[in-house]
Amino acid sequence: MNRLQFADLVILNLGYNDVDKKLDRRQVIADMDIHLPFILTQFASKFGEGVLNNFTVTSILPVSFDTGRGRFFVDVPKPMNLGGFAGIRQIGDTQNEDQNYVPIQSSFNSIMSYLEVNGLAGRNGFFLDGNRAYFRNQPVDMPSNVRVTWVPTIMNISDTQEITCPAETLSMLSDKIVEALMIQKQTPENVINDNKDNQ
pLDDT at 53 over 70: yes
Geometric angle at alpha carbon 117, from 145 and 103, rounded to 5°:
40
Each residue's pLDDT tens digit, 130-174: 788 898 887 778 889 999 988 888 888 888 888 777 777 778 888
For the segment 24-35, the average pLDDT, to the nearest whole number, is: 84
Contact (CB, 8 A) for 54 and 116:
no
Query: How much is the pLDDT for 19?
Result: 58
Query: How much is the pLDDT for 80?
Result: 79
* Burial (CB count within 10 angstroms: exposed 0-12, middle 13-18, buried 19+), residue 164: exposed
Sheet with 132-136, strands from edge to edge, namely: 64-66, 71-75, 132-136, 125-129, 102-103
Contact (CB, 8 A) for 7 and 28:
yes
pTM: 0.70
pLDDT at 62 over 80: yes
Is beta strand 132-136 parallel, antiparallel or unpaired with respect to 125-129? antiparallel
pLDDT at 50 over 60: yes
Which residues, at least 6 apart from 152, have a Cβ–Cβ distance to it below 8 Å? 55, 57, 77, 78, 79, 80
For the segment 78-83, the average pLDDT, to the nearest whole number, is: 76
Which residues, at least 6 apart from 86, have a Cβ–Cβ distance to it below 8 Å? 41, 44, 49, 52, 151
Each residue's pLDDT tens digit, 166-184: 777 778 888 888 888 887 6
For the segment 24-53, the average pLDDT, to the nearest whole number, is: 82
Contact (CB, 8 A) for 183 and 94:
no
Give 127 or 21, the one with higher predicted confidence. 127
According to DSSP H, which parts of 104-188 are helical?
Answer: 108-112, 167-186
Each residue's pLDDT tens digit, 84-117: 666 788 888 888 887 888 888 765 444 444 444 4
Roughly what angle, to the nearest 10 degrees, separates helices 3-13 and 167-186? 50
Query: How much is the pLDDT for 105?
Result: 72
3-state SS, residue 2: strand
Compute CA 75 distance to the chain's CA centroid, rounded to the nearest angstrom: 14
Contact (CB, 8 A) for 63 and 141:
no
